[in-house]
């Protein structure tokens, strides 16, 4: 959905007049699920870009204040919940601004230390009381649930890509992941541990943002970053700092495979950059065994 600055100005002025005089400008790296805007110097406005992402608004307002006090790094702080108005059909949010740039903008100075800090953050998140937390479902694209949800799509995509990938190797990785079932109680997971949701300040991990896909269940979905961002020593450091068994890592590899496959299938003929990124991740997944 196209969301111009003028619409955000109208929404803020109509519902939060105490902030009506503050300047509003788009955030350069504002994400895909939401459109994000600076509101003055200390706040941000986030608006879902499509109906798919609307349930994430209430989830963040409900659960981020619960999680934040237990976590070792800053996470978004909801300040106000906006209502549909001015032709915009969905709820929206005002957050406190978090300092830092995403990894997409400014890679960390020490990737091994960064990987360790991220793993330690996720380990703490997994240890927070998961009672009554949001279960996997349509609202978070079934992250935290069983991989079987995407079995048909994954197999169809492998067949569709044909000789463009090593289909046999992809099937082996996928079937290994399917066979490794989560055995423990549900734990908290972030759901979208990606470069765009990890902030860097002074070369270090400074904050983790965008908990719209968070929930309680199998934490394997949070391991995709091991293949999308880390490699070699940094991947080893990430795994060493997370107390998870080999089955969970196999499922994490499966989640990574699924996403890379569908991304390549969607963009291989239309977006060379996105297709190249998907190929790089597939190469990491298919050509390197579990550590």
CA distance 181 to 218: 9
Domain that residue 83 falls in? 5-98
Query: Are 116 and 220 within one domain?
Result: yes
Query: Are 251 and 195 within one domain?
Result: yes
CA distance 67 to 182: 23
The stretches of the chain forming alpha helices (DSSP H) are: 5-15, 55-67, 111-127, 151-161, 167-179, 225-228, 232-240, 246-267, 272-287
Last residue of a domain, one of 64, 98, 132: 98
Helix (H, G, I), strand (E, B) or coil at 55: helix
**pTM of the predicted structure, to 2 decimals:** 0.95
Query: Are 182 and 199 within one domain?
Result: yes
Query: Are 91 and 106 within one domain?
Result: no
Q: The CATH number of the domain where 60 resides is what?
A: 3.30.200.20
Structure tokens at 285: 């997944």
Helix (H, G, I), strand (E, B) or coil at 108: coil
CA distance 19 to 22: 6
Query: Are 121 and 246 within one domain?
Result: yes
pLDDT tens, residue by residue, 52-109:
999 999 999 999 999 999 999 999 999 999 999 999 999 999 999 999 999 999 999 9
CA distance 220 to 190: 10
Query: Are 88 and 212 within one domain?
Result: no
Q: The CATH number of the domain where 183 resides is what?
A: 3.90.1200.10
Residues 10-27 as b/e (b if ≥16 CB within 10 A, e otherwise) read bbbeebbeebeebebeeb
Query: Are 139 and 31 within one domain?
Result: no
For 200, phi then psi, to 5°, come to -120, 135
Q: How many domains does the chain have?
A: 2
Q: Per residue of the chain (291 residues), give pLDDT as tens.
A: 889 999 999 999 999 999 999 999 999 876 668 999 999 999 999 999 999 999 999 999 999 999 999 999 999 999 999 999 999 999 999 999 999 999 999 999 999 999 999 999 999 999 999 999 999 999 999 999 999 999 999 999 999 999 999 999 999 999 999 999 998 999 999 999 999 999 999 999 999 999 999 999 999 999 999 999 999 999 999 999 998 999 999 999 999 999 999 999 999 999 999 999 999 999 999 987 543
SS3 content of the chain, % helix, strand, coil (to 5): 50, 15, 35
């Amino acid at each position: 959905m196209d969301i111009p600055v003028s619409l955000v100005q109208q929404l803020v002025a109509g519902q939060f007049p105490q902030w009506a005089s503050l300047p509003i400008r788009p955030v350069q790296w504002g994400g895909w699920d939401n459109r994000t805007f600076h509101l003055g110097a200390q706040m941000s406005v986030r608006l879902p870009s499509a109906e798919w992402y609307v349930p994430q608004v209430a989830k963040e307002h409900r659960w981020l204040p619960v999680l934040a006090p237990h976590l070792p790094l800053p996470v978004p702080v909801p300040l106000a919940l906006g209502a549909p108005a001015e032709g915009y059909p969905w709820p929206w949010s005002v957050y406190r601004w978090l300092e830092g740039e995403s990894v997409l903008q400014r890679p960390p100075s020490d990737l091994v230390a960064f990987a360790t800090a991220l793993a330690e953050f996720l380990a703490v998140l997994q240890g927070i009381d998961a009672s009554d937390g949001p279960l996997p479902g349509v609202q978070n694209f079934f992250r935290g649930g069983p991989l079987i949800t995407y079995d048909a799509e994954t197999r169809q995509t492998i067949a569709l890509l044909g000789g463009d990938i090593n289909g046999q190797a992809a099937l082996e990785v996928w079937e290994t992941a399917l066979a490794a079932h989560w055995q423990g109680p549900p734990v908290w997971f972030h759901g979208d541990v990606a470069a765009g949701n990890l902030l860097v300040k002074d070369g270090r991990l400074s904050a983790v943002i965008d908990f719209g896909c968070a929930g309680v269940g199998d934490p394997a979905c949070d391991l995709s970053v091991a293949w999308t961002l880390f490699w070699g020593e940094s991947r080893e450091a990430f795994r060493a700092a997370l107390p998870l068994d080999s089955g969970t890592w196999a499922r994490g590899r499966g989640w990574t495979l699924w996403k890379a496959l569908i991304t390549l299938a969607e963009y291989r003929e239309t977006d060379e950059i996105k297709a190249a990124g998907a190929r790089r991740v597939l190469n990491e997944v298919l050509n390197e065994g579990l550590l």
